[in-house]
A and B are shown apart, each in its own frame.
Chain A
Amino acid sequence: MSEPRFPEEPLFVSAELTLRYRYGAGSEAAHYLEGLKERMAFEGTHCPKCERVYLPPRPVCGICYVGCDGWLPVGPEGTITGATVVEVPFVDPITGEQRPVPYGFAFILLDGASTNIFHFVDETDRRKLGVGMRVRPRFRAERTGSITDVEGFDLIREEGP
C-alpha cells in the first residue's frame, strides 16, 4: 500500500454555468408595464384599509392582509430617500457585463406612493446628490413594456439666474 502523494501546487477544477430562465411576470406587472410603455405613467396598488399605495404594485397589502382594491397614479416626480455614487464595479444582472462606474444610485419615493423604488440617477458627484432632493423620470424613446423603459431619474436642479 503506497502513501498518498500531495501535489506541490494546489489542484483546481474549473466549471462554467450558463443558465437560462423565463419568469412569469404576474397580472400586476402586465397592467403596470403597459402603463409605462403606452402612457409613460406610474401606477401603484391601493390598500383600502391602511390607504398605502404600493410600488412595485402587488395584489395584497402585507401589513393589513387585505386585497388591494385598485390602481392610483403616482409620480412621475419623486423625492430621494437614500443615495450614493457607486464607484466599485458590479456585474449588471441583465447583461452579465460589468456596469461602467461611477454612477448615481438612489432610493426614490414617487409622489403619492407609500413605498420606495430604486433606480439610477444622472449625477456622479456625491456632493450634489443627497436625501431630500427631487427627481423626475427619463423615459426611453423606444419603449418595450419593460421596467427598463425608465432609463433612470434626473435631478430637478434649480434654474440658474
Chain B
Amino acid sequence: MPDVAIVGTGQTDHKSRRDDVNIPELAREAVDRALADAGVTFAEIDAVCFGNMDLFEGLAENEHWLASTFGAEGKPLLKFNTGGTVGTSTTMGAYYLLKAGFYGRILAVGFEKQAEGNSQGAITTVGDPIWERPMMAGAIGNHAVMASTYVADSGVTEEQAAKVAVKARRNACLNPHAHLKLPDITVEQVLESKMLAYPLRTLDMCPTSNGACAMVMAGDGHAQKLAARPAWIAAVASAHDQSFQGDSPKRMSEMRSLIAVRERLYAKMGITDPVSQLDVAEIYEPQSYAELAMCENLLFCEKGGGGRFIDAGTPLIDGELPVNPSGGVLSTNPIGATAMIRVAEAAMQVMGRAGDHQVKPDVQTALATGYGGNAWSDALILTARQPSR
C-alpha cells in the first residue's frame, strides 16, 4: 500500500468573530492557503474529505452548498460528522483512501463558525436522551468534574494548571493564525480569572473561535512532487470507550481511549521513551488540567507527574518535548477544525514551515491527537522519513 503524506496546510486567522465572511468564504480561505502551500489547483485534486457537525450551525447536508467552496464539482466529496475528533476523523478518512490507492491527492477541510452557531445547544444533545441528558451540565461542568478527579489522583495544583494556560497563550503570540494571544499573561491572572466551575476558571478553558483548516494530502509518487519535505503519516490509531460518560472508572485521569491509541502507535513506531523520541506534540487539550492528564496518559511523564512535568519546563516551546507550540486548543478552538489544526501544526513542524513557533529546524517525528470527549481518541505520528523506505 502506498505511503501517505501531508504536502500542504492552510488555516484562517482564527478569531472570535468573522462577520466579514459567510461560512463558505471562511472555509475557502483555508482551502486557498492549503492549495497554495502545496502548489496545486483544484484540477489536480482527486477527492475531497470534509468535517463538520450538522447541529452546531444548524446546517444539514451542507456538503451540497459547500461543494463549490471545495472545488468538488464532479468529484467524490465525503463528509465526516464526528464530534471533537472530526478534524482527525477527516484526516484519517483521507489517509485510508490514499493508503488504499483509490486516489492520489485529496483535499481535507474542517471548519466552524461558532459565532453563527449554537454550540452549547448542540452539545446538550450529546448525552443519551434517556439516561444522561436531564442531568447534563454542559462541556464546562463535565470538564470541571473530570479535572477534579484528576486533581484527586495526581495532586496537581491550581498553579501548575495555570502554567499550562500561560504557556498556551504565550506560544500563541508566535503563531499568526492563533486566536487568543496574551503576551503578558501571568499565573496570577489565570488564578484571578472568573470561576466557571471549580477548578476551572475562564483562562483554564479554550476560547470560542471561528476558523477553518485545510490540508492537501498525497500518496507515494505524488507527495514527493508536491513538497520538498512531506510530512509522512507513519502511524494512525483510533479508539472508542464504552457508551456512557461514567463508564470509564477514572475518566480523563486514566483515559482508556487515549491509552489504547498510545499503546498501538508507540508499538508500531517502537517508541519506548516519547520525551526523547518525539520532537514535538500537538495534542487536543480542551482545558489546562486536561493537558497535564493527557501528558501522563501519553507517557510524557510518570503517572501523577503532570504537575512536575510542567514545573520542569519540559513541554515549553524550548523544552525537551514542546507540547502545543502553536498555542493549542487553549488558544484556538473552531471545533470542527480544531483536531485538524493539531495535525496541520504537527505537519508544519515536520515540513519546517511553522515559522516563529518552529521548535527546531529538523523535526523528525511529531505526534498529533484528537479528542472527542473521553469516549473517543485519535492519534497520528508524522515523520520526515518516508515510512516504507
> A residues within 8 Å of B by Cβ?
10, 15, 17, 21, 23, 25-26, 29, 55-56, 58, 62-63, 81-88, 90-91, 93-94, 99, 103, 105-107, 115-120, 126, 130-132, 146-148
The contact of A82 among B121, B136, B145, by CB within 8 Å, is B145
- Judge if B269 is at the interface, Cβ distance under 8 Å: no
Looking at A25, A90, A148, the one whose CB has the most chain B CB atoms below 10 A away is A90
| Cβ distance B377 to chain A, nearest Cβ, rounded Å | 16
B138 CB–A CB distance under 8 Å = yes
Show the binding face of B for A, using Cβ within 8 Å.
Answer: 19-20, 58, 120-121, 124-125, 127-138, 140-141, 144-149, 152, 195-200, 242-247, 249, 251
CA distance A115 to B244 in the complex (A): 9
Residue from B138, B196, B246 within 8 A of A117 (CB atoms): B246
Given known contacts A58-B243, A117-B246, A130-B152, is B146 in contact with A90 (CB within 8 Å)?
A: no
Q: From B127, B133, B148, B251, give the contact of A84 (CB < 8 A).
A: B148
Known: A84-B148, A106-B145, A118-B145. A91 touches B132 (CB 8 A): no
A94: shortest Cβ distance to chain B, in Å? 5
The verdict on A147 contacting B144 (CB below 8 Å), with A10-B20, A17-B58, A116-B246 known, is no
CB–CB B137/A82 < 8 A: no
Report whether A147 and B131 are in contact in the complex, using a CB–CB cutoff of 8 Å. yes
| Shortest distance between the CB of A155 and any CB in chain B (Å) | 15
Closest to A90 in B: B138
| CB–CB B134/A94 < 8 A | yes
Instruction: State whether B196 touches A91 (Cβ < 8 A).
Output: no
What are 6 A-B interface contacts by the 8 Å CB criterion? A26-B130, A29-B131, A87-B195, A88-B197, A116-B246, A147-B130
| CB-defined contacts of A25 to chain B, threshold 8 Å | 130
Say yes or no: A119 contacts B149, CB within 8 Å: no
Residues of the B chain whose Cβ atoms lie less than 8 Å from the Cβ of A29: 130-131
Chain A residues within 8 Å of B251, by CB: 82, 107
Q: How far is the CB of A69 from chain B (nearest CB, A)?
A: 18
Give complex CA distance A87, B196 in Å. 5
Q: How far is the CB of A115 from chain B (nearest CB, A)?
A: 5
Task: Identify which of A62, A93, A126 contacts B243 (C-beta below 8 A).
Answer: A62
Q: Which of A91, A126, A132, A146 is close to B152, meaning CB atoms less than 8 Å apart?
A: A132
Select which of B121, B125, B136, B197 is within 8 A of A87 by beta carbon. Answer: B197
Tell whether A90 pairs with B198 under 8 Å between CB atoms, given A26-B130, A106-B145, A130-B152. no
List the B residue with the shortest CB-CB distance to A87: B195
